Structure 1
């Protein structure tokens, strides 16, 4: 048996769905009219007018997406006129019901309620005046149907609005995430390139070997910046690009960050305590970015010479502390006051249910402390030498 192909059995949408509905209702009403004429009924005062109303009311569905309220009122009035001229209790009432649902689903609750009320009042008045066989129970049931249709349309509108708002929030969160990534990646690398370039110029005559080493680090850092920037822009463009071959950012690359900072003149030491664990990707990336941004700030603003990175693996979370012996908060007013570096690190920690503080140390210098919960069960791993 050939496999089932869903694409061959898709229901029509948009104008096609309206056309199918219009034709279907017209066929049903036409069959009812034809059956009445076949039995020799003569209670219809104007057969031609009835058939014209049938075609006009059904055909109006084709314009309901462009003029929903106007089409709704037209179908309500046209259907009422049809039932006055015809003795057939056909299914033409489906057309204004569909129009009511569409208007309510688009948020036009006042117009939908007004049309529903007009239909109920019209049917009730027609029953009293013409003394037809439509009973009060039938009017009550019609009222219940109309209330249910308008309510369902309102629920549909609320669900669509909620989904759109959720999509906007996700898009905003994604833009903020990308902005943090661009700031952390490009900002760190460009800052280190700037510091290393200054160090190379300073040592060019006194120590050409160290100057050459700093220039090599600048070349490697600029290449890494371009690679990560292309990867980020590739995500924004949503194009298929070659997957990056470099290791994903994480604490496994903390030694690389320390080595890069040392080329700018800082003496960096990493201290690890507790049983090291394999962290989840979000926690590992956040820890890496916090260390990266802290080293960037230390190189640019602290004016110190020593930085200590403390990584403490606890039972429930990872604790980081990046301390320098610089001039504390006085050397970095832009970072603490309104810069995006500390703010970005704080947002990363809070997004994972953690916390981050930054400020001057009592004994001098500046410290960034962060606590990141593991979130999921992290397996202990062997300590690195």
Structure 2
């Protein structure tokens, strides 16, 4: 019995307050009618009337977990209550709530069959038993149909808004990918410029160096001019390289030509680290969802850089990667059991580049040794705040 109860889902806070409110309204209205305005034909509500009220209201606790089952129990109990001549309270309110819930949440056919169907059956029962059609029952049926129509309208409005929001997100994602493609093309252009500049100037330096060696004894003045040209050319080359590499700075990686990798490719990184001999465990918590391209790209690069450091430098046997989808923040954490560092880690291109990419979208990076051995990299990225459309490259 205890095991069975442990598998029953806990009611949500909304369902708890809704069930409590319906129970108080239904039982309270019945009690008030019995005390202040009883009708001669009313039967005492205690105990069976209140039992039906409890049966109609209590299942609403599990409205979210079992909407169809709860609606069936609630509607049947509330509908049966009235023909038994108990005081005419607001027991039907719980049935109305569940019928509205069914249609609003997408259980349309069941909701439309359950609501009007039971009232039609009750009126047929009344005709067969000689009771005739009750005006109040027909009015209630009309109100139920109006309620179901309102639920349909609101449901379609939600569907339209959801589709409109998805279109906006897709449009924003397309714009982001276009900007990233243009940035990639620009980086490729700069890479070609670097190649052309270096190839040209190095060739010039090579020719001038040969000339200087050839003329050093016979024509020292021309040899000095060649050496001067070499000095100026090498200075210009270094200046241009510094300017271009400030944009193109990348480690062990060419300019991207494929779609920007996201969190869906993190398992590939984990498998790669495992293939290198490190037992990596990946854990994903929170509600997984598609994030902005910039956020997913920065998170992917952070995991990539952290696992690369684990494989190359840590000497670790095991590592743990965690991705936590928060409501307003994405947390990426990689921890290993390797040698760690003594004191703060020496700043390298990897950690610096990771911090720069995170800072572009308003995030932070913490890299520090773990007490007792090992090293931890923790990256926090805003999900919906700041300029969350950036995309950096590894440093």
TM-score normalized with structure 2 length: 0.49
Please tell me whether residue 145 in structure 1 is matched to residue 143 in structure 2. Answer: yes
Counterpart of 2:276 in structure 1 is none
1:335-361 C-alpha deviation (Å, 9 max, x unpaired): xxxxxxxxxxxxxxxxxxxxxxxxxxx
The partner residue of 2:194 within 193, 196, 199 is 196
Kept in 1: contact 2:198–2:237 (CA 8 A): yes
1:183-238 C-alpha deviation (Å, 9 max, x unpaired): 212321233223322331233132554565355334323323569x9xx8469769
Give the direction of change, closer, same or farther, for the CA distance of 1:115–1:125 in structure 2 (3 Å limit).
same
Q: Give, in whole Å, the separation in 2 of the partners of 1:87 and 1:61.
A: 22
Kept in 1: contact 2:72–2:114 (CA 8 A): yes
Counterpart of 2:173 in structure 1 is 175
Give the direction of change, closer, same or farther, for the CA distance of 1:211–1:195 in structure 2 (3 Å limit).
farther
Give the direction of change, closer, same or farther, for the CA distance of 1:195–1:155 in structure 2 (3 Å limit).
same
Q: Give, in whole Å, the separation in 1 of the partners of 2:168 and 2:131.
A: 57
Kept in 2: contact 1:103–1:109 (CA 8 A): yes
Query: What's the CA shift for 1:51?
Result: 1.5
Query: What's the CA shift for 1:16?
Result: 3.0
Please tell me whether residue 102 in structure 1 is matched to residue 101 in structure 2. Answer: yes
1:147-195 C-alpha deviation (Å, 9 max, x unpaired): 2111111122212222222222222222221211122123212332233
Counterpart of 1:205 in structure 2 is 203
Counterpart of 1:166 in structure 2 is 164
Other structure's SS at 1:107 match: coil
Aligned residue pairs: how many? 227
Q: Give, in whole Å, the separation in 1 of the partners of 2:66 and 2:361.
A: 49
Query: What's the CA shift for 1:143?
Result: 2.7
Please tell me the root mean square deviation across aligned C-alpha atoms, in Å: 3.5
Query: What's the CA shift for 1:79?
Result: 1.2
Q: Give, in whole Å, the separation in 1 of the partners of 2:245 and 2:85.
A: 82
Task: Write the mapping of 1:85-124 to structure 2, written as runs, cut at 5 A.
Answer: 85-124=84-123
The partner residue of 2:242 within 204, 219, 223 is 219
The partner residue of 2:30 within 29, 33, 52 is 33
TM-score normalized with structure 1 length: 0.51
Q: Give, in whole Å, the separation in 1 of the partners of 2:130 and 2:87.
A: 16
Kept in 2: contact 1:19–1:62 (CA 8 A): yes
Task: Write the mapping of 1:195-274 to structure 2, written as runs, cut at 5 A.
Answer: 195-207=193-205, 208=230, 209-210=232-233, 212-225=235-248, 233=294, 241=359
The answer for unaligned runs of 5 or more in structure 2 is 1-10, 206-229, 251-255, 257-292, 299-327, 330-357, 363-395
The answer for unaligned runs of 5 or more in structure 1 is 1-13, 245-385
Q: Give, in whole Å, the separation in 1 of the partners of 2:84 and 2:138.
A: 23
Q: Which moved more, 1:81-90 or 1:126-135?
A: 126-135
1:92-150 C-alpha deviation (Å, 9 max, x unpaired): 111111111111111121111101222321342244345559634x3442232112111
